[in-house]
Structure 1
Amino acid sequence: MECAGKGRGSRCIGWPTRRCGRCGAVAYCSVSHQLLHWKDHREECKRLEQQMKRIDVLNDFPFTFTQEATLEILEKKETRCSFLSKRGIHGVGMWMCECRCGPPPLTSFDFSRLMDDVWDLSSDLCPSHGPLSSISKHLKSWKDYYEWRCIPLHSPVALLLHWPLTVYHATQIASVRSLTVESCNKLCIHYLGPEKELLQLSAFGELCALFNGMQVHIELIGPAIPQDRDGEKIDLRGCARCLDADCICRSSSSSENVNKIAVTGKSSALTLQLHRGFYHDRFQDLKEDSFPQLVIAPNAGIAAYPSWIPTLVCL
């Protein structure tokens, strides 16, 4: 969680440990940032308070590691580093962003290190190849997803797959998924404010399975994208690979296998393109080539950062 007053006046002075006393949904690094943010926050505080009363329901995850990854870390009985270390994924590949050890700033990070990124998990713990069947119903929960992908509930992949699953869920809410392969085989999404996702882009390959038979194009726009990656285009032909040397995901025909549903045989493709800057500054250029069917900002901080107000006006 970031300081909700970030970007207002002075710089943040530390971790956001001071929560709103009424709703408890937002946190601040200091009293001054809390006071500065109150003008905006007071309009949503009551709504957030009602949502937080359902926190037990919202935190009702089916994973066997739920308490270890949430409550025990909150109570300092466990750390995110130790949680990852027990599973052999601390500081490696896409997992390096999942604790405070983290990678260096994006502007100085060597992205070539992630070119051959893998899940760093065995094949039974991650979606490293196409699913065994097409989606028979809309996935409404993590349990639905894990069952569909035949992943055991002790697998930690949800920590990374919340990015593509959020995109999938947003399409359900917006009814975009009604654009079936029969009616339209292309889906264009504008994804605003990516940050650590930039070091976990391989996880988005799961969208090839979720949007079977569709050509999905995602424009990622945000100020965190390094200048030298502005305009970069990335083709993801399927899921990230697992660690098992004999898995189908490592075969010579893996690019063909991982993006096909076993039952239907329909091929999918996913293209990502990076754009540095604010959405309201880039929108006119982007809409010429890729007018979106969906705009999503999962962690852009629209409620907290004044710089996003022009984007809201644009939308």
Structure 2
Amino acid sequence: MECAAKGGQRRCSGSANRRCGGCGTVFYCSVSHQTSHWGVHKEECGRLKQQMSSMLLLNDFPFTFSREATHQVCEKVETRCSFLEKQGIHRVGLWICECRCGDSINLSDHIRSDNAWSLSNKLCPCKGPLCILNKQLTSWNDYYEWRDIPLHSPVALLLHWPLTIYQSIQLALSKQLISETTDELARNGTLPTCCIWRVACFTSCSPTVRVHIDFVGPGIPHDRNGERTTLCSYAHCTEVDCRCKSSKSEFISPITVTLHSGFYHDRYTQLTKEFIPDLIIAPNAGIAAYKTWLPTIELIKEIEIPAIFSDYCEEACHLAVNCISSVTGCPPIIPIQLNPFRQPLAVEDTALTLPCYSNCFLFGI
């Protein structure tokens, strides 16, 4: 932990092991630093305390591995790597991006492998659903039941990406920000490049809707700018004779994905030559942490296209809403709320002791 008063007028005197007795989320290196920082911290202390009181709710998942993936990671009994190792999915297939040691590995070699799930067909959605979805998904239980997947399967660790897209669309529909009758849905997102294969694991819950997704972000390599992929089959399981290996295992309606290197506000003119987006989705946005978001927020205000944002914790969303409101002059249309499809694996080494999960909270403008 870093001292919350780090960067002030005086240097830190040692390790930050003195916790705030009010919120319990920030630490200090000394009494003097804690005292000097109170003028800043007092405005957020009560809010952080309230967020900490929701820890049990945030850690509440239906999976058999939930305690290992939440409490034990937060308490440093487990790491993300050790948890994945126990599941038999560490550094293989689609799982390569879920731990730090995957940073130095050629992602394409693993993600495009024949057995991208690295799981049996009983544990993963490697083929289409048994029935058309006739109700809105509202929880991981709903999704697992629909796809007939047992609750000891770790697939939710990957499917939080496409299901966060699904949840974002449902929120936009509930506020009538997009039309339910559209035959085509164009979405702009700032997801990591590797997520296009994760989206391929998910079938559209509205099979008559044609979906186009633009992935935009500075993390996309320049040599892949403009690359287009059509997702028309599911990622494969490890079973040799599974139907997912057949050419007949296809989406009811293909999804097209195009990659764009750079910031959204810089690429918008090029993006809209072919598709005008219905919805902008920015997962784990970090709006308050990056100044480069300012011109993008100004653009979103100008073009009046609905946007859904997510972040790792409620506090990050709160700070983001303040930043956005200072530009737009308006509160969010969709208030900050817990994402039922947040990733059920805690983030390690966070700046605060707040429980953090990928795509944990959502809000929209």
Distance 1:287 1:77, change over 3 A: same
Residues matched between the structures, number: 274
Structure 1 gap segments, 5+ residues each: 9-16, 28-37, 260-266
Distance 1:74 1:242, change over 3 A: same
CA contact (8 A) 2:178 2:278 kept: no
Q: For structure 1, which segment, 206-215 or 139-148, has the greater mean C-alpha deviation from structure 2 after superposition?
A: 206-215
Q: Which amino acid aligns with 1:124?
A: K
TM-superposed deviation, 1:116: 3.4
TM-superposed deviation, 1:67: 0.3
2:136 to 135, 138, 161: 138
Q: Percent identity?
A: 49
Q: Which amino acid aligns with 1:91?
A: R
Distance 1:70 1:135, change over 3 A: same
Mapped partners of 1:310, 1:19: distance in 2: 39
CA-to-aligned-CA distance 1:208-242 (integer Å, 9 cap, x gap) = 34332221111010000001111110111132111
Structure 2 gap segments, 5+ residues each: 8-15, 28-37, 301-365
Equivalent in the alignment of 2:264: 279
Equivalent in the alignment of 1:309: 294
Q: Which amino acid aligns with 1:273?
A: T
Q: TM-score, normalised by structure 2?
A: 0.67
Distance 1:49 1:207, change over 3 A: farther
Distance 1:159 1:50, change over 3 A: same
Mapped partners of 2:281, 2:257: distance in 1: 14
CA contact (8 A) 2:128 2:249 kept: no
Mapped partners of 1:253, 1:304: distance in 2: 45
Question: What SS does structure 1 have at the residue aligned with 2:87?
Answer: coil
Equivalent in the alignment of 1:162: 160
CA contact (8 A) 2:94 2:110 kept: no
Q: CA RMSD in A?
A: 3.2
TM-superposed deviation, 1:100: 2.1
Matches within 5 A, 1:1-315: 49-104=49-104, 109=106, 111-116=108-113, 118-175=116-173, 179-180=179-180, 183-192=181-190, 194-195=191-192, 198-255=193-250, 259=251, 267-315=252-300
TM-superposed deviation, 1:177: 9.8
| Consecutive aligned runs of 4 or more in structure 1 exceeding 3 Å deviation | 17-27, 38-52, 176-180
Larger Rg: 2
Distance 1:59 1:187, change over 3 A: same
TM-superposed deviation, 1:98: 1.3
CA contact (8 A) 1:131 1:209 kept: no
